[in-house]
Chain A
Amino acid sequence: MEEVDVEPTTTPIPGIDSNQKHLGFVWGPGDILVYETIYKVSGGSAGGCPFVHEVRKDEDIYSPILRKLFNESHHIFVGLQRIREDLPSKNKKPQFVSISKNYRSVIRACMEELQQVAVSTQDAALATQYGNQVSILLAVELIWNLCEVLFIDAAPAGSLLLHLLDWVRLHKADVDEKAGEVLASESPAEHQAYWDVVISYVLQGRMDEARQVLVKQAALQPAARAMFKLLDNLLKKMPIFNPGETQTLTEFDVKWRHWREEVDRCLQDQSFASNPHLEIICKILVGDEDVLLEHKELLSTWYHFLVTRLLFSHPTVKSTELHYYAQSSMHMFLDTRSVPEPLDSILLAAFEFDIHQVIKDCSIALNNWWFVGHLTDLLDHCKLLQSHNLHFGSNLREFLLLEYASGLFTHHSLWQLAVDYFDHCPEFGRVYLELQIERVPLDTERKALKVIRICEQRQMPEQVRSICKIMAKKALRNNRLGSALSWSIRAKDAAFATLISERYLQEYCAKGTFSDLDLIDNLGPAMLLSDRLTFLGKYREFHRLYGEKRFSEAAKLLLSLMTAKIAPRSFWMTLLTDALPLLEQKEVIFSADQTHELMFCLEELTSWKSVPNPDRPMQDEDIETTKIELLRLALARNLAMAIVKEGTVEV
């Protein structure tokens, strides 16, 4: 057995003391059911707990706000699968990046909505729950964004740092908030957070904004004007790589080195010695790591430190070198004693380009598969996961998507979304769908029709049959023979159609009339599904013909029902009795040949019936004998008339 990656967490079940009681459980697709068992070798039943507990792994799926995340991302997911395989990869990259951004904007939208309700809700417990969800989404978006920069966009040196800066700016937006607060105050330059704001801007490489704020201070200190001017100039001149221009990376590098030497010179000259704040800024500009580390509060995270460090020391960093700086930054920033949080190790793994570690750690840290499923799918489309094979299931992408979709399928309403996910899992998706779709609870016919349509579109006749059969059974239980028959015709279920036809025939024998004529009269080719159904339809046709006084056609049909063995033997007596009024008509309807055949049928029936049935009461036996007598008489008379008629030569 493999080692576990993390110790599993314990979920206490209210009302059950697991030290004293024993628990049994059953796996479900999404949840598990837990019940108390009585573990005794012998002895009577001690009062056990009468409850079955349902333990859910994933609560988020039931949140109405996160539900939008699932729905909207489903839409994006389907769009991603439609990107054509044969496009040159050069054309695909911008599409993948924009899809990645779409996913992130959905996360952001959910986050904002959650934040709003978290603030407005009165319930403290609910507010914390929303708060937790927000922080999870924040982390998820942070990781996703980094993956987008590093793996999907995979920007070359130069541009890479720009993307990383954007990443840090987006996730450390409180600077703008603070800046707004400072600038709105009466005298911004004297605000206690003033220098924090300036330095934060510099740390994020937002030089123009830093300069704008610095102007306020410069205006207050006319004496130091030259010094402010100098720093302003340095900030202004700081070269920023511009991927749109024709400038090469080497040119940029040379330019940047020049600028840095200039800053260095200013530092050597002690140009800013009289103002400690300006001196700190200047030291930041040369990338003084000690000074940077003094501003941990403002940086707040090691990855901010990393990006700032790169900005001022290695602006042309290549993606392959990132891991080295990332590791050292993390060690420098975090206390040696403190254990890195899961988020830290996930980000570090990303910087190390260990995609599988990122996915694995995320799977462990997050309580549902939404994030890893969608991210892995996107990375797989970018052809970044080819080399890796699992020793179970098919591949990583499919495995995660299947897990996610199975979770969705357990949801009361979201199961419809899961279908599309299964569709895009080439190896096992269909099997999963086949197993799950039959188990969707069906309350109404409309829902059943929707489920059947899903199956039909995917050529799953077994499942269609099974669902139709469920519906047919249900209709039969509710005594809706017509519906039951329609469903079994749709299921092409001959056995069930036979069963229902029997019921109709029994009903006819009991009541003497047919019910559901609208259905039986319009069976059409569906009649051929089962012999008994054919008989039902034909027998009803006989009654219609008889009713319309088309006697000879009716007689022919009646006879053929017996001679062609369509009618079950048990029904022959009824058919022969039906022939009686035809035989008693004034004109001859059955020809001599036909009468012979009828007589033959009657003899066959009586010889077959001659085996005495001990269960039958004598009275029934008597009626039967009388009937046969009557029939024989009628047949003989008809035969005589027919022979006379046929023998008469019309003049």
Chain B
Amino acid sequence: MEGINAKYVSQKISKTRWRPVSSSSLQQPDIFATGSWDNEDNKISIWSIGENGVSSMDDEFEGDPQLVCEYKHNGDVLDLQFLDQDRIVTASSTGAVIIFRHHHNSQTLSVSKLWERAHHYPCDNAPCTGIVCNSPEIVTVGEDGRIILFRADQEGVLRTIENADSSTIHAVTFLRTTEILTVNSIGQLKLWDFRQQGNEPSQILSLTGDRVPLHCVDRHPNQQHIVATGGQDGMLCIWDVRQGNMPFSLMEAHSAEMWEVHFHPSNPDHLFSCSEDGSLLHWETSSNSDTPSFLQGGRNTSIISRSAIAPAGGNQSLISSWLTGDSSKGRLETTHMLPSQTLSVNSLDVLGQCLSGDLIRRITLLPVLSRMQM
């Protein structure tokens, strides 16, 4: 496939994230961060694929990522999120939650905040498995079954939900500003409302009987009730959290653990998932032709206008194409984006401008990076 750019980086990468670009600029993302795992010394690193990074005077072909700076990380990086343009939050296997600051002027990293042993057992560390940020709020989850709410600008812990889960919580996402959704290792989705005081979830959704662990979750960027999860069997589930406690649709995807799933932030008909089996999938639901579409006009312009309008919010009466039923097979297309590989694709991140061709090129770069290149 065109536009795949691979680089060996001498470390095992567990997570990778694009630095968010300011919504006003039309600039392409060119900076990303990676976190490593299972090395003797783990690191978080900042990479640049633009010209303004490290000198790219020699004939290295365009787009080859250059290391900008790196910093030692205590423990495996289990999750990594950009809080804003220059702050990165990481989840460590030591149970620590760390905020790093990337100084653009000197191109260095430093620790700006550290919550040691945020996740812990009575006499041992518990790995922190997931983070979600809604600046300045940070929510973390861990193997100890705790949910912790931090504020980036405060020292202490804002709120802890002890024993939120009897098993490991693998991932977390915001549904609304006060509501979060967690997935755990016995196949349940739990909805938590921070306005409620108790330690009980406001809703539990699960796949009946199977107890297949869920590893990742992502929310539809515009329609907050639509959620995608991926689990140990590589199955992709689309849920409508408003209705019932069963998934809306189940789709066979990967042959092993799905490590990450993401809707495209500005073009949510596209979804991406990666897995332990070494595959990266691109899912596309094309909106039904008889659905009242606001995208009348030329084919070429449609894609552009859609993504330009979509971030304005789900004010359209359009039913999400993810919930139009999975019975008609023709509507959902999946594409394998990587040549066959034996090693796992641990992480992916989607960020891109409107044109989907370009979008694919951009996305592909990262997963490749995060895979083999140990």
CB-based contact B344/A450 at 8 Å: yes
- Give 6 pairs: A residue, B residue, CB < 8 Å, sorted on A: A443-B76, A445-B185, A480-B144, A483-B167, A518-B190, A524-B211
Residues of A within 8 A of B (CB): 64-65, 67-68, 71-72, 75, 78, 412-414, 416-417, 420, 443-447, 449-450, 453, 457, 477-483, 486, 489, 515-519, 522, 524-526
Among B12, B206, B342, point to the contact of A522 (Cβ < 8 A).
Answer: B206
B123-131, B150-158, B298-306, B356-364: which lies at the A interface? B123-131
A480 with B121: in contact, given A78-B342, A522-B186, A524-B208 (CB under 8 Å)?
yes
Main secondary structure of the interface of A (DSSP, over half): helix
A481 with B342: in contact, given A443-B76, A444-B93 (CB under 8 Å)?
no
A483 with B168: in contact, given A447-B38, A449-B232 (CB under 8 Å)?
yes
Given contacts A64-B10, A450-B257, 11 further A-B contacts (CB under 8 A): A71-B373, A413-B39, A413-B40, A445-B143, A446-B78, A457-B256, A480-B143, A480-B144, A486-B185, A486-B211, A515-B163
CB-based contact B145/A482 at 8 Å: yes
B residues near A449, Cβ cutoff 8 Å: 213, 232, 257
A-B contacts, CB under 8 A, total: 116
A residues near B76, Cβ cutoff 8 Å: 443-444, 446-447
CA distance A413 to B208 in the complex (A): 37
B residues near A486, Cβ cutoff 8 Å: 167, 185-186, 211
**Shortest Cβ gap from B223 to chain A (Å):** 27
B residues near A417, Cβ cutoff 8 Å: 374
CA distance A480 to B213 in the complex (A): 17
Give residues of chain B (1-39) contacting chain A, Cβ–Cβ below 8 Å. 8, 10-12, 37-39
CA distance A71 to B12 in the complex (A): 11
CA distance A518 to B169 in the complex (A): 13
Main secondary structure of the interface of B (DSSP, over half): loop
A residues near B344, Cβ cutoff 8 Å: 450
Give residues of chain B (150-193) contacting chain A, Cβ–Cβ below 8 Å. 163, 165-168, 185-186, 188, 190
CB-based contact B257/A71 at 8 Å: no
CA distance A414 to B372 in the complex (A): 11
Among A416, A482, A515, A526, point to the contact of B374 (Cβ < 8 A).
Answer: A416
B residues near A445, Cβ cutoff 8 Å: 127, 129, 143, 168, 185
Among B122, B167, B232, B256, point to the contact of A478 (Cβ < 8 A).
Answer: B122
Flag whether B276 is at the interface (Cβ < 8 A). Answer: yes
CA distance A412 to B39 in the complex (A): 6
A515 with B124: in contact, given A412-B38, A482-B145 (CB under 8 Å)?
no
Q: Map CB proximity to A onto B226-263 as digits: 1 under 8 Å, 0 otherwise.
A: 00000010000000000000000000000011000000
CA distance A517 to B188 in the complex (A): 13
Closest to B165 in A: A518
CB-based contact B167/A482 at 8 Å: yes
CB-based contact B343/A416 at 8 Å: yes
Flag whether B204 is at the interface (Cβ < 8 A). Answer: yes
Flag whether B209 is at the interface (Cβ < 8 A). Answer: yes
CB-based contact A524/B166 at 8 Å: no
CB-based contact A481/B38 at 8 Å: no
Output the residue of B75, B127, B208 with the most chain A CB within 10 A.
B127
The 5 A-B residue pairs with the shortest CB-CB distance in the complex, in nearest-first order: A482-B166, A516-B166, A478-B121, A524-B209, A64-B10
Closest to B127 in A: A444
CA distance A623 to B93 in the complex (A): 50
CA distance A269 to B199 in the complex (A): 107
B residues near A479, Cβ cutoff 8 Å: 121-122
CA distance A420 to B126 in the complex (A): 31
Output the residue of B232, B373, B374 with the most chain A CB within 10 A.
B374
Among A78, A446, A478, A519, point to the contact of B124 (Cβ < 8 A).
Answer: A478
**Shortest Cβ gap from A348 to chain B (Å):** 35
CA distance A240 to B320 in the complex (A): 71
B residues near A413, Cβ cutoff 8 Å: 11-12, 38-40, 374
**Shortest Cβ gap from A513 to chain B (Å):** 13
Q: Map CB proximity to A onto B320-352 as digits: 1 under 8 Å, 0 otherwise.
A: 000000000000000000000011100000000
Closest to A523 in B: B211
Among B168, B209, B256, B342, point to the contact of A453 (Cβ < 8 A).
Answer: B256
Among A420, A450, A489, point to the contact of B342 (Cβ < 8 A).
Answer: A420
A526 with B127: in contact, given A445-B185, A518-B188 (CB under 8 Å)?
no
CA distance A443 to B93 in the complex (A): 7
**Shortest Cβ gap from B42 to chain A (Å):** 10
CB-based contact B374/A414 at 8 Å: yes
Among B129, B144, B211, B374, point to the contact of A446 (Cβ < 8 A).
Answer: B129
Closest to A441 in B: B38
CB-based contact B93/A412 at 8 Å: no
